[in-house]
């Protein structure tokens, strides 16, 4: 049975390449490397996007919700020691659903499941909840370019 991992911001930064102002998860909790990742994002009015989206009725933009889910999904396989800190590249985002408006003061709890991880290609699904209610969901395919480049056939020199 694999050990559960919990990470703060420095720990997250050691495992993935996202940095402020584009790091959209606050902590990783009870994560099983190679299987699932769980994160928490606490949205305060001090977030840089709230005054512009929208001043009279602030809400979290959809692209930030998708990126928060993607960053959590990355942690399903970047917490595997041999992949720690590697560059990951998104390939597909499917079946995105933004079901609930998220506003300042809300806490988004995200659960990502890794369905397969072969030859540097990860596939999985993610759901985000606010107060136990499903707020957003998506499916992702992400690759690790350095793993893929190691699988290329060797070319013959003439």
First to last CA, the chain: 50
Q: Is the peptide bond before 126 cis (omega within 30 degrees of 0)?
A: no
Q: Are 110 and 69 in contact (CB under 8 A)?
A: yes
- Residues involved in catalysis: 53
Torsion of Cα atoms, 28 then 23 then 53 then 66, to 10°:
-70
The SS3 assignment for 61 reads: coil
DSSP 97-131: EE-S---TT-EEEEEEEEEEEETTEEEEEEEEEET
User: What are 73's two structure tokens?
Assistant: 């999904």
Torsion of Cα atoms, 98 then 103 then 105 then 110, to 10°:
10
Q: Are 113 and 79 in contact (CB under 8 A)?
A: no
């Amino acid at each position: 049975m694999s050990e559960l991992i919990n990470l703060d911001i420095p720990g997250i930064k050691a495992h993935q390449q996202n940095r402020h102002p584009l790091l959209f998860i606050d902590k990783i909790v009870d994560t099983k490397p190679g299987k699932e990742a769980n994160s928490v994002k606490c949205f305060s009015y001090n977030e840089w996007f709230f005054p512009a989206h929208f001043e009279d009725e602030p809400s979290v933009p959809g692209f930030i919700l998708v990126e928060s889910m993607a960053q959590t999904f990355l942690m399903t396989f970047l917490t595997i020691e041999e992949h720690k800190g590697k560059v990951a590249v998104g390939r597909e985002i499917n079946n995105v659903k933004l079901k609930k408006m998220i506003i300042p003061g809300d806490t988004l709890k995200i659960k990502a499941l890794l369905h397969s991880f072969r030859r540097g290609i990860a596939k999985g699904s993610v759901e985000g909840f606010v107060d136990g209610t499903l707020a957003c969901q998506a499916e992702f395919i992400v690759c690790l370019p350095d793993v893929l480049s190691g699988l290329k056939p060797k070319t013959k020199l003439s």
